Amino acid sequence: MKLEDLRKIRERASKNISLRQGDARVNVVIGMGTSGIAAGARDVMAAFLDEIGKRDLNDVIVTQTGERGLASSEPVVEVHIKGEPVVVYGEMSDVRARRVVAEHVVNGNAVTDYVIEVRK
Amino acid sequence: MRRLDVLVCSGASCVSSHSEAVRDALATEIDRQGLTQEVRIVETGCMGPCELGPVLLVYPDGVFYIRVAAEDAAEIVEEHFLKGRPVSRLLWEDPEARRIAEERKQVPFFEKQHKTVLGNCGKIDPESIEEYIGSGGYEALGRALTEKTREELIECIEEAGLRGRGGAGFSTGKKWRFVAQAGGDPKYVVCNGDEGDPGAFMDRSLLEGDPHSIIEGLAISAYAVGANHGFVYIRAEYPLAIKRLNIALEQARESGLLGDHILETDFSFDIEVRIGAGAFVCGEETALIASIQGQRGNPRPRPPYPATCGVFERPTLIDNVETVGNIRHIVLHGAEWFRSVGTEESPGTKVFALSGKVCNTGLVEVPMGTTLRELIFDIGGGVPDGKAFKAVQTGGPSGGCIPAEYLDTPIDYESLGKLGTIMGSGGVIVMDEDNCMVNIAKYFLEFTCDESCGQCTPCRVGLRQMLSILERITEGEGRMSDLDELQELAKVIMATSLCGLGKSAPNPVLSTLRYFRDEYVEHIEQETCRAKVCPAFLRYEIESELCKACDKCRASCPADAITGSPGSPPYVIAEEICIRCGRCLEVCPFGAVCLKTGP
């Protein structure tokens, strides 16, 4: 093994511990209250995780939160991007989740069709 | 994709409070909830707050769980990992503000710390070389071997001003230079992990929590001084540290980071683990060398110093575990970076093991120059149960006790030396009003008497004489002239002993005589032990107006020293029969039994 090989291993291995570094660019927060889960929040989360994994995005973390009081709009998902307003999406689904990853998380354009709130 | 890393502390103290059962229960529940793809359990080294163990740290949110039991696993997994609601009853709560810490960084224990050497401890899996490399591991070794000359490395450590973390504080850079300049081949490097002070567990935690950092540091030092063979000396009482170091060594060899032509350079180096039988004196470098060679761990006079005549009479570099743990950081970030933390004379950080009468016992790392008050009260959380702080002991059996009036002393080699103690390897034992300082001095002297190798007379006989005087004082047979005699003996022993053990063993007696002379005098002249520790000055009495004649004390007394009959108070303790075991005080439901001292 040469130093370059070591650095290659590091690049790969650092992804493995990136969750612990606390420097994620994007935080996707999924509402996992009772009504969220009933409306399919688990599947939405699975879709986010799958899509983020497929695209190998290392600066994105997925976390959960509780009930927001917007039962009719569940599943509700917030996208926090560093230095930008928080975008809240409603009535998310597997397909919509994948679109949010592609258009908002990767390209930085909120998917206006599903937005229910923008918070400063 | 994985979204949660659950870090389970697997330091020796969390393991002993059943963290492994917690880990297994979590794994079962994660599987049951179908979260195995999303949640991963990582076992890490010591996170520090041993008092609160077993502890868990959940990333990315940084939720910190304390005193977790296996039975809590189902709730944590379902509520937190699945639904995103941390289980608040298992979070740390500020006892005064009644505020729950939602994240680890809100816990004051962590707030004032500055983790460099312990940076990976509690953050990565010590049994995974991948995680170590992922967090920047072996980069320093790589750069040292490919970009730096030996001279540059030695200069870098000299400029950084790193001083030996084993206690004496000798300049590490200078030591490196002596060995590098010494003639003779082969040369050896040794990492001294013979941590023997009562209440010290820094080296153990570092070896358990980040063994690769020790391998890397030792490899860099070997390259700098021109050695190809290294030893890590660990005591047999540290089985987990030995196991994890051996795993790490095997991984490093497989990856070509140890062995011939490391990273395809000309440098070859390997490490052997030597297990010590646990003799305190083997922490002394010449005794350690003898032990590595397979001989009895006897020290020998210096010079010649190990730098010219060490293991197998070859030039040998001996550095303490924490010193070695600093190396890779200095090589990576430079001398100036290292000097930016700590004080002018004592740069960098120091790891301490907090124990004794302190709320947050555990492992901490702070910049040099932090005051004892910050260490004990801000990080340590002060003395538990509302008791009064009395003293803090640093440096183990070679150090001394510091009283409350010096709590604002900055922690560095010189300041502690002026107070009659030493930095030592980092054991910090806090004492409260219930500790008798004469008894503490006696305890440490008993320890050094037991651990003296017996070669030289001052240490073997002199310490025994000091101990018998202390025994006399604590048994009520002391004379005022004993205090001068203790001082006289201490002076001779320190001046004439062969090695550091004897030279420093009188320190606990001298420092308690200096700051707590009153207590010695009370023992001798007033037959009083104010901390109510020394049995000769204690008597148990039953307050007649409080006694309800329930008969519990009489029934529990192992010496039949209590007389009385049920229903007709008071009961009476016969002082001449009483063995002062304290059983009656424990069982009395009415608080009628009291402990008294003095004539």
Q: What is the CATH number of the domain that holds B501?
A: 1.20.1440.230
Q: pLDDT tens digits, residue range B218-229?
A: 999 999 999 999
Q: Which residues of B touch A20 (CB under 8 A)?
A: 5, 7, 59-60, 123-124
Q: Convert the pLDDT of each residue in B3-18 to its tens digit.
A: 899 999 999 899 999 9
CATH code, domain carrying B408 = 3.10.20.600
SS3 B429: strand
B167 and B287 both lie in a single domain = yes
| Nearest partner of B330 among B312, B304, B348, B318, judged by Cα | B348
Please check the confidence at residue B390 and state whether its pLDDT lies above 90: yes
B103 and B168 fall within a common domain:
no
Confidence at residue B316, expressed as pLDDT on a 0 to 100 scale: 97
Instruction: Please give the residue range of the domain that contains residue B425.
Output: 349-432
Same domain, yes or no: B191 and B85: no
One domain, residues B103 and B66: yes
CA-nearest residue of chain A to B78?
Answer: A32
DSSP B65: E
Domain with A97, as residue range(s), is 23-119
Does residue A11 fall inside a structural domain? Answer: no
The share of chain A scoring above pLDDT 90, in percent, equals: 41
Per-residue model confidence (pLDDT) at position B42: 94
CA distances from residue B127 to A19, B121, B259 in whole angstroms, order as listed:
19, 12, 19
Residue B118 lies in a domain: no
Q: What's the pLDDT at B183?
A: 87
Higher pLDDT, B599 or B421: B421
pLDDT bin (cut points 50, 70, 90) of residue A58 is confident
Same domain, B357 and B332: no
Is A3 within 8 Å of B142 when comparing Cβ atoms?
yes
Evaluate if residue B255 carries a pLDDT over 70.
Answer: yes
Q: Taken in order B269, B272, B207, B27, is the CA torsion positive or negative?
A: positive
Residue-wise pLDDT for B428-459, tens only, equals 999 999 999 999 999 999 999 999 999 999 99
- Inform me whether the pLDDT recorded for B556 exceeds 90: yes
Closest residue by Cα to residue B537 from B388, B436, B396, B403: B436
Mutant choice from A10, A25, A49 vs B, greatest count of B C-beta within 10 A = A10
Q: What is the pLDDT of residues A28-54, one digit of tens each?
A: 999 888 888 888 898 999 999 999 988
Lowest mean pLDDT among A65-74, A91-100, B230-239, B506-515: A65-74
Task: Check whether A66 has a pLDDT greater than 80.
Answer: no
Question: Which two three-digit tokens encode residue B457?
Answer: 């007379």
* Cβ contacts of A58 on chain B, cutoff 8 Å: none
> What CATH number does residue A88 fall under?
3.40.30.10
- What predicted TM-score, i.e. pTM, was given to this entire model? 0.91
The neighbouring-strand residues paired with B562 are B573
What sign for the dihedral angle of Cα B91, B95, B100, B106?
A: negative
CB B49 within 8 A of CB B109: yes
B230 and B281 assigned to the same domain: yes
Strand partners for B272: B231
Averaged pLDDT of chain B: 94
Rounded CA-CA distance B129/B11 in Å is 18
Residue B354, token pair as written in the block: 């907090």
Interface residue ranges in chain B relative to chain A, Cβ cutoff 8 Å: 1-5, 7, 37-38, 59-62, 82-85, 123-124, 130-131, 133-139, 142-143, 145-146, 255-257, 263-264
So what's the pLDDT on residue B512?
96
Q: Which residues in chain A touch residue B259, judged by CB atoms under 8 angstroms apart?
A: none
Does B273 score more than 70 pLDDT?
yes
Assess if residue A85 is contained within a domain: yes
Mean pLDDT within B58-80? 92
Does residue A6 fall inside a structural domain?
no
Residue B85, SS3 per DSSP: coil
Nearest alpha-carbon partner for B7 in B68, B84, B74, B51:
B68
Q: How far is B320 from chain A (nearest CA, A)?
A: 27
Q: Which of B82, B134, B257 sits opposite A14 (nearest CB)?
A: B134
CB B563 within 8 A of CB B571: yes
Domain assignment present for residue A83? The answer is yes
**Does the N-terminal peptide bond of residue B60 adopt cis geometry, omega within 30 degrees of 0?**
yes
Query: In the prediction, which pLDDT does B104 show?
Result: 79
pLDDT for A69 beyond 80: no
The amino acid sitting at A115 is V
| In a shared domain, residues B330 and B353 | no
Q: Could you tell me the CATH number of the domain that includes residue B564?
A: 3.30.70.20
Distance CA B205, CA B216 (A): 17
Which of B339, B361, B387 corresponds to the end of one domain? Answer: B339
Burial label for B97, CB within 10 Å (0-12, 13-18, 19+), is exposed
Whether residue B376 is found in the same domain as residue B501: no
Q: Could you tell me if residue A7 is inside a domain?
A: no
* B124 has a pLDDT exceeding 90: yes
Distance CA(A62)–CA(B2), nearest Å, equals 9
Is the pLDDT score of B406 beyond 80?
yes
Same domain, B286 and B201: yes
Q: In angstroms, rounded to a whole number, what is the distance separating the alpha carbons of residues A41 and A38?
A: 7
Q: For residue A7, which residues of chain B lie inside 8 Å, CB to CB?
A: 139, 142
- Scanning A1-120, the segments in alpha helix (DSSP H) are 3-16, 34-38, 41-54, 94-100
Beta-bridge partner residues of A65: A31
Is the confidence at residue B110, as pLDDT, over 80? yes
Chain B residues near residue A62 by CB distance under 8 angstroms: 1, 3
Which residue from A minimizes the CA distance to B135?
Answer: A14
% pLDDT > 70, chain B? 99
The closest of B38, B37, B75 to B56, measured between CA atoms, is B75
In a domain, A17, yes or no: no
- Domain endpoint, select from B339, B372, B391: B339
Q: What is the mean pLDDT of residues B47-55?
A: 91
CA distance B228 to B317: 12
B344 vs B43: CA distance, rounded Å: 37
- CA B481 to chain CA centroid, Å, is 36
* Domain end marker among B400, B432, B464: B432
The answer as to whether A8 is a domain residue is no
Asked whether residue A66 is assigned to any structural domain, the reply reads: yes
How high is the pLDDT of residue B61? 83
Residues of chain A numbered 11-70 and touching chain B (CB < 8 Å): 12-17, 19-20, 22, 24, 27, 30, 32-33, 37, 45, 49-50, 52-53, 61-66
Residue B186 preceded by cis peptide, ω within 30? yes
Q: Under the phi-then-psi rule, with left for phi > 0, alpha for psi from -120 to 50, and beta for the rest, what region is B57? A: beta
Separation of alpha carbons B489 and B458, rounded Å: 9
Closest partner residue to B60 (CB to CB) among A3, A22, A50 is A22
**Considering CB atoms only, which of B3, B82, B123 is closest to A20?**
B123
Question: Of all residues in chain B, what percent are helix, strand and coil, respectively (each to 5)?
Answer: 45, 20, 40
Asked if residues B338 and B412 have their Cβ atoms less than 8 Å apart, the reply is no
More confident residue, B498 or A21: B498
* Structural domain total, chain A: 1
Question: Number of A:B CB contacts under 8 A?
Answer: 92
Q: Is the dihedral of CA B277, B278, B280, B283 positive or negative?
A: positive
Domains of chain B: total = 5
Yes or no: say if B243 and B209 are a contact pair by the CB < 8 Å rule: no
Q: Report pLDDT for B58.
A: 92
Do B294 and B408 lie in one domain? The reply is no
Structure tokens given for B247: 């795993």
Do the domain assignments include residue B124?
no
pLDDT band at B97 (very low <50, low <70, confident <90, very high): low
The model's confidence at residue B516, banded by pLDDT at 50, 70 and 90, is very high
* Mean pLDDT value across residues A3-27: 87
- Mean pLDDT calculated for residue range B475-484: 96
